Chains A and B, each alone.
Chain A
Amino acid sequence: MSETQEYAPNIITAEEMDPKFKYQLSKKHGAEKLMLCFQCGTCTADCPISRFNEFYRPRKIARMVQLGLKDRLLSDNALWLCSTCFTCVDHCPQGVEIAGIVRALRNLTVKEKAVMPLVSKELASNILKGGYSYEFPESRHKRREMQGLPPLPKPNLEDLKKIFEITQSLEILEKAKTFEKV
């Protein structure tokens, strides 16, 4: 790749920008303060993921939200690299909860693009089947008994299913396609 190609500016066209997007997203819990970001870059500088991955940049995400680059944001799987360590949240001089913005963007991707990581779908399916995010074979329960541990508390699957239904999570999960790796 030639130097000009490599450093070619990523041109943003006016058509790509959805001016209402920032207002739409700032209604989501945790993303309320996104307009306060003044691009100092503390979040990216202190992000442990950004140190080892060249595509995950919290400051860039915040700016893209402000510019309304919704489609670009929701089709970028790098969103799923945030490890929710909350260092960005604690270090932001403007009190912007970057991790909350990333969560809101993930939620929106799942809802509008109908796509999520395979692991999330598997965990959800386990939770619906047994209340726990892993499936416990009978041998696990026996092993607990042998180890002198009390039986695991039982799930209330009826209640749990209702919670998934009321929050529209069942249909979200049904529709969603999956991807394995970022």
Chain B
Amino acid sequence: MSELKYLVFLGCVIPYRLSSYEISARKVLKKLGVELVEMPEFNCCGFPMDPINHDLMLSMAARNLCLAERENLDILTLCNGCFSILNETNKVLAEDKALRERINGHLKEIGMQFKGTAKVKHLVHVLAEDVGFEKIKDAVNKPLTNLSVAQHSGCHIVRPAKYVDHGDDPENPTMLKNLIRLTGAECLDYMDETECCGNPIIGVNEEVPFQMAREKLGHIKAVKAQALITVCPFCHMMYDLNQPRIERTFNEEFGMPVLHYTQLLGLAMGLAPEELALNELRVKATELLSQIQE
């Protein structure tokens, strides 16, 4: 098994709403020598069904894990939600015998059995731990030295800490920050960096997530960041897709471009903005791109 070969788990939101993340991630990973194998079959990770029936979520997630075990590959996710659900299920089923037996009882009906032999990693973990900083640094040929950005790594790649064993501190996550610094851009600190985006409840309540996002965008603007960098489709939608509505709701202007980390890294690797689907962003990054070109 080649070291940098993964089963890519796209999830639902990225192909439905954010192909810009998938396009840029595939381009960047290919350049870094990471091989992506498509899932032989797919079902939603289970995240949206957890509030309805926890056993249903565990079974849906376990089914995907079984597919990875069958392929003898680790899973790479681009979505924090998918990572959280697949990783947590992988961990609890391995640790909790009674739970494993119950879920395996369900899986038996579809001819599968969870063994716990595959690992689940988010893009950030693969880049920081498996590809490594040296290799990424070498691939950066157009450092974005005149750029200052802020990051939002999102909750589900660091919390709950007991299930995430990638050494990042949930109170002060630095993995994404360090990855951003490799592009040559400055990564600014701002107030309440670890605050949740609020997107998971947007289906039942818009007021609370909008207030949360407004506050965060305000904190980011206050430190004069030129863009916000995300690694999760939910967080990205909250700050990019919803930004014009948040601006209207509170009669405030942010004009904050929100880039997927893979777009930022791609630019630093000399890929063209069109190749990285930057035109698909709701808040256009025109000013930022002209500054890069200078």
**Chain A contacts to B: CB under 8 angstroms:** 28-30, 48-49, 52-53, 77, 80-87, 89-90, 97, 99, 103-104, 106-107, 110-111, 116-120, 123-124, 127, 131-134, 136, 140, 143-144, 147-150, 152-156, 159-160, 162-164, 166-169, 172-173, 180-182
Contact = CB atoms under 8 A, between A and B. Distances in A.
Given A110-B52, A127-B44, 13 more contacts: A29-B96, A87-B194, A90-B170, A116-B51, A131-B43, A131-B44, A140-B16, A149-B23, A154-B42, A155-B43, A163-B110, A167-B106, A168-B53
A103 B200 CA distance: 13
B109 A133 contact: no
Contacts, number: 182
B241 interface: no
Interface in B18-50: 19, 22-23, 26, 38-44, 48-50
A173 B60 CA distance: 16
B74 interface: no
A155 B41 contact: yes
A174 to B, nearest CB: 12
B204 A182 contact: yes
A52 B212 contact: yes
Contact of A106 (B26, B51, B194): B51
Contacts of B15: 132, 136, 140, 144, 152
A181 B54 contact: no
Contact of A86 (B10, B44, B159): B159
B201 A152 contact: no
B113 to A, nearest CB: 14
17 contacts: A29-B96, A80-B204, A83-B200, A85-B159, A107-B51, A110-B52, A117-B203, A117-B204, A127-B44, A132-B16, A149-B22, A152-B15, A152-B42, A153-B41, A163-B106, A181-B205, A182-B201
B196 A48 contact: yes
Contacts of B109: 162-163, 166
Contact of B55 (A81, A162, A167): A167
Contacts of B170: 90
B200 A84 contact: yes
Contacts of B147: none
Nearest to A173: B52
A10 to B, nearest CB: 23
